[in-house]
């Protein structure tokens, strides 16, 4: 079985309100796609994503695996970090990458924190 | 003069009430040991346990509150309401409970209740005055659930103490938790065996006061 990776550029969600952003992501994940979102959701939206995922859990949909990779370096100059913070506040957080996959396919996402490992479930376990 | 007296009395009442009703939440992923810690705190200061614990995840599926816990330390006193919350997860599969020996119907019921529990925990985040995030020191601290919980508490400016639980186990690694969350105070404990509870209560006083 081939895995489908769905890339969502930040421009596709930048105009959406929080509820519609979360819905767009979950709709894709529920179609058994692994979503690669440019940037990251707001903290509040990440929390809502978990809550709405819980509301939608059923025998067919067991939830999600979620990981955010930050691209900003801790060693970056103060001015660079300030500029990024300001840009994120105005334009939304476009730095990094958010990975969201269906729990029926993605067993675990390990962050180390510079590298990321995505472990998938074997096919037998996926078919229910 | 009467108005001034009323304002002063209200001011004193507010301070008193605020101190009396501090809501201290226990948050974290499932099976980190939140209820074990809640039981340890309650046993130490009230002489009774708070909830049941189990090796099967999502044993706590409802919010539990123990009111008016009064702890004393070095001549200081602290009173709070302890709120034990269900573990926050991004996935719940009833088959995991079946594997742990539950019957299919019981497993499905537990999964349904667990999803509601997670939603309740998230709803209660806003109600907390201070939060202890209980992490299993043998597990990977970089999970997005941990980062999301802590990030949301930080955004709400709710004081947070991180507890690295299960330090009695060989696999426990507090350094990894410290690397993942360098800006937070981290206390290593074993709630099950009461290890470093003194250090925990010291940190709790710092957190709440």
Q: What is the pLDDT of residues B30-87, one digit of tens each?
A: 999 999 999 999 999 999 888 888 888 888 888 999 999 999 988 899 999 999 999 9
A1 in Cβ contact with A34 (< 8 Å): no
What's the pLDDT tens digit per position in B126-149? 999 999 999 999 999 989 999 999
Q: How many domains does chain A have?
A: 1
How many angstroms away from the CA of B191 is the closest CA of chain A?
Answer: 27
Question: Torsions phi, psi of B15, nearest 5?
Answer: -60, -45
In the prediction, which pLDDT does B56 show?
82
The CATH number of the domain where A8 resides is what?
3.30.950
Q: Say yes or no for a CB contact (<8 Å) between A63 and B125.
A: no
Q: Above pLDDT 90, what percent of chain A?
A: 59
Name the nearest CA neighbour of A66 among A21, A23, A111.
A111
Q: Say yes or no for a CB contact (<8 Å) between A46 and B148.
A: yes
In the prediction, which pLDDT does B60 show?
84
Q: What is the DSSP letter of A40?
A: -
Name every chain B residue with its beta carbon within 8 A of the beta carbon of A66: 90, 144-145, 148
Q: What class has domain B21-208?
A: alpha beta
Q: Say yes or no for a CB contact (<8 Å) between A59 and B94.
A: yes
Q: SS3 for A53-72, per residue? A: HHHHCCCCCCEEEEEEECCC
Q: Say yes or no for a CB contact (<8 Å) between B122 and A50.
A: yes
Round the average pLDDT of chain B to a whole number and report it. Answer: 90
Chain A interface test: which of B57, B148, B180 (most A C-beta within 10 Å): B148
Structural domain that includes position A78: 4-126
Name every chain A residue with its beta carbon within 8 A of the beta carbon of B61: none
Residue B179 has pLDDT above 50, yes or no: yes
B98 in Cβ contact with B107 (< 8 Å): yes
Q: SS3 for chain B, per residue? A: CHHHHHHHHHHHHHHHHHHHCEEEEEECCCCCCHHHHHHHHHHHHCCCCCCCCCCCCCCCCCCEEEEEEEEEECCEEEEEEEEECCCCCCECCHHHHHHCCCCHHHHHHHHHHHHHHHHHHHHHHHHCCEEEEEEECCCCCCCHHHHHHHHHHHHCCCCEEEEEECCCCCCCCHHHHHHHCCCCCEEECECCCCECHHHHHHHHHHHHC
Name the residue among B90, B116, B155 with its Cβ closest to that of A50: B90
Using pLDDT thresholds of 50, 70 and 90, give the confidence band for residue B16.
Answer: very low
Break chain B into its structural domains and give their ranges: 21-208
Among A114-118, B42-46, B179-183, name the one with the lowest average pLDDT: A114-118
Residue A123 has pLDDT above 70, yes or no: no
Q: Say yes or no for a CB contact (<8 Å) between A113 and B151.
A: no
Q: Say yes or no for a CB contact (<8 Å) between A63 and B89.
A: yes
Residue B111 touches partner A, C-beta closer than 8 Å: yes
Separation of alpha carbons A66 and A78, rounded Å = 29
In the prediction, which pLDDT does B17 show?
46
What's the pLDDT tens digit per position in B88-119? 999 999 999 999 999 999 999 999 999 999 99
Q: Say yes or no for a CB contact (<8 Å) between B111 and A51.
A: no
What is the interface size between A and B, counted as CB pairs within 8 Å? 71
* Assembly ipTM: 0.85
Residue B20 has pLDDT above 60, yes or no: no
pTM > 0.95: yes or no: no
What's the pLDDT tens digit per position in A69-109? 876 555 567 667 677 666 666 666 778 899 999 999 999 88
Separation of alpha carbons B49 and B116, rounded Å = 24
Q: Taking CA B95 as the corner, what is the angle to CA B90 and CA B96, rounded to the nearest 5 degrees?
A: 60
For A62, other C-beta atoms within 10 Å of its C-beta total 21
Separation of alpha carbons A119 and A21, rounded Å = 26
Question: Torsions phi, psi of B5, nearest 5?
Answer: -65, -40
Q: Which residue of A has its CA nearest to B95?
A: A59
Q: Which whole number is the average pLDDT over A118-126?
A: 72
Q: What is the DSSP letter of A34?
A: E
Name every chain A residue with its beta carbon within 8 A of the beta carbon of B140: 110-111
At A85, is the secondary structure helix, strand, or coil? helix
């Amino acid at each position: 079985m081939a895995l489908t990776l769905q890339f969502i550029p930040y421009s596709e969600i930048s105009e959406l309100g929080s509820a519609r952003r979360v819905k767009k992501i979950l709709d894709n994940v529920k179609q058994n796609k692994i979503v690669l979102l440019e940037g990251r959701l707001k903290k509040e939206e990440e929390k809502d994503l978990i809550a709405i995922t819980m509301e939608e859990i059923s025998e067919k949909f067991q939830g999600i695996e979620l990981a955010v990779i930050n691209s900003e370096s801790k060693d970056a100059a103060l001015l660079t970090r300030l500029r990024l913070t300001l840009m994120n506040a105005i334009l939304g957080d476009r730095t990094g990458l958010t990975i969201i996959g269906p729990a029926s396919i993605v067993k675990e996402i390990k962050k180390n924190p510079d590298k990321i490992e995505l472990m998938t479930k074997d096919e037998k376990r996926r078919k229910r | 003069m009467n108005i001034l007296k009323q304002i002063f009395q209200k001011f004193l009442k507010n301070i008193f009430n605020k101190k009396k009703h501090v809501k201290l939440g226990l948050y974290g992923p499932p099976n980190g040991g939140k209820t074990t810690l809640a039981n340890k705190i309650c046993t130490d200061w009230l002489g009774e346990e708070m909830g049941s614990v189990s090796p099967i995840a999502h044993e706590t599926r409802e919010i539990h509150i123990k009111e008016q816990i009064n702890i004393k330390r070095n001549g200081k006193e602290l009173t709070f309401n302890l709120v034990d919350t269900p573990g926050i997860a991004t996935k719940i599969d009833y088959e995991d409970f079946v594997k742990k020996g539950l019957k299919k119907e019981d497993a499905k019921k537990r999964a349904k209740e667990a999803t509601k529990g997670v939603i309740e925990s998230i709803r209660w985040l806003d109600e907390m005055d201070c939060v202890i995030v209980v992490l299993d020191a043998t597990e990977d601290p970089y999970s997005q659930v941990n980062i999301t919980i802590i990030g949301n508490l930080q955004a709400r400016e709710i004081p947070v103490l991180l507890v690295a639980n299960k330090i009695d186990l060989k696999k426990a690694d507090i350094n990894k938790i410290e690397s993942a969350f360098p800006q937070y105070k981290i206390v290593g404990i074993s709630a099950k065996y009461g290890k470093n509870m003194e250090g925990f209560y010291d940190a709790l006083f710092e957190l709440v006061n």
